[in-house]
């Protein structure tokens, strides 16, 4: 399992924003498309209990749903993924 699983869709503005932050910070993640994969969509909903995306799941199973850049950045820092 990657450090981060990123459940997303191309049309999702929040997904594009979070993806851009991860890429800017050089954070590796596994992209899981929920638009073209029913399995990924079901897994994202199972993780979060909602249909909102992005769902960002960390290696330990904790997750964020539709995080702001500030929240995602802080979580990456707390976890030691970025310094």
Q: Buried b vs exposed e over 17-41: b needs ≥16 C-beta within 10 Å?
A: bbbebbeeeeeebeebebeeeeebb
> How many independent structural domains does the chain possess?
1
Whether the CB-CB separation of 5 and 32 falls below 8 Å is answered with: yes
- Domain membership of residue 72 (yes or no) is yes
pLDDT digits (tens, 9 = 90+) for 21-77: 999 999 999 999 999 999 999 999 999 999 999 999 999 999 999 999 999 999 999
- Domain membership of residue 17 (yes or no) is yes
Q: What is the pLDDT of residue 2?
A: 77
For residue 52, count other CB atoms closer than 10 A to its CB.
Answer: 14
Six-digit token string for 68:
């702001």
- Domain membership of residue 18 (yes or no) is yes
Six-digit token string for 50:
């909602």
- Domain membership of residue 67 (yes or no) is yes
Six-digit token string for 72:
């995602």
- Domain membership of residue 21 (yes or no) is yes
Q: What is the pLDDT of residue 71?
A: 98
- Domain membership of residue 83 (yes or no) is no
Is the pLDDT reported for residue 20 higher than 90?
yes
- Domain membership of residue 58 (yes or no) is yes
Is the pLDDT reported for residue 1 higher than 80?
no
Q: What is the CATH number of the domain that holds 52?
A: 3.40.30.10
What is the extent of the structural domain holding 8? 4-78
């Amino acid at each position: 399992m990657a450090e981060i699983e990123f459940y997303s869709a191309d049309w999702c503005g929040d997904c594009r924003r979070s993806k851009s932050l991860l890429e800017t910070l050089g954070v590796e993640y596994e992209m899981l498309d929920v638009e073209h994969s029913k399995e990924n969509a079901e897994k994202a909903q199972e993780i979060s209990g909602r249909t909102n995306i992005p769902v960002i799941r960390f290696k330990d199973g904790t997750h964020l749903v539709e995080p702001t850049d500030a929240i995602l950045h802080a979580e990456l820092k707390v976890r030691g993924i970025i310094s």
